[in-house]
Structure 1
Amino acid sequence: MTKIGMAMSPHAEECLIQFHKENKKVFAWNMTDLHGNSLDINTHRLNVNTDAKLVKQKKKIFGAKRSQTIKEEVEKLLKAKYIRPVQYLEWLANVVLVSKPNGK
């Protein structure tokens, strides 16, 4: 994410805006633009310890408002084909909700 703020000089701000305008096809402007751009583990070297013990966290129960927020975000990611359903019987990590700067 790129932020243009008060601390940026007017020249730097103009250069950044111009750069984004000239290269607008390169950037993802919403989640649907990200489809197909996920990390291909076959082409990147990953440092993964295959001997590590799998950890299953205790399932966390969320309130109605948070559960609805989680459901909406997951549906957006599924629709954009950024994530897909999987079934892991030995591994589970709970959702972590983080507030946006605007309070959402």
Structure 2
Amino acid sequence: MPGLDRKLVQHKLPIKEGYLPVKQARRRMSMETELKVREKIERLLKAGFIRPAIYADWLANIVPVLKRKTRAVRICVDYRNLN
């Protein structure tokens, strides 16, 4: 989060030696949903709330959650295969 010390609130994915990378199959989305997800990610990047990960061999899917009334998108990440 912008303005907070990274030692306090930085998320890391510690990887133990000897574990093989996990790549989930890409989750399918409609074009409308994919555009909303891209817009949301761009907003979060510009705000400095997120940054690109350095774990190039590991892949966890983005799971879009659409609000029924407003059709707004909330982004979650599926870490089940990584745990």
On the 8 A contact 1:54/1:90 being kept in 2, the answer is: yes
Q: Structure 2 regions of 5+ residues with no counterpart?
A: 72-83
Aligned to 1:82: 49
- Matched residue count: 66
On the 8 A contact 1:36/1:82 being kept in 2, the answer is: no
Structure in which a larger fraction of residues adopt helix: 1
Compute the displacement of 1:64 (Å). 1.0
Identity %: 32
Q: Which 10-residue stretch deviates more, 63-72 or 82-91?
A: 82-91
Compute the displacement of 1:67 (Å). 1.0
The two structures have a TM-score, normalised by structure 2, of 0.58
Q: Structure 1 regions of 5+ residues with no counterpart?
A: 1-33
Compute the displacement of 1:101 (Å). 5.7
- d(CA) in 1 for partners of 2:51, 2:37: 15
Compute the displacement of 1:95 (Å). 0.7
Compute the displacement of 1:49 (Å). 6.3
- Counterparts in 2 of 1:62-81, with a 5 A limit? 62-81=29-48
CA RMSD of aligned residues (A): 2.7
- d(CA) in 1 for partners of 2:68, 2:26: 27
4+ aligned runs moved over 6 Å, structure 1: none
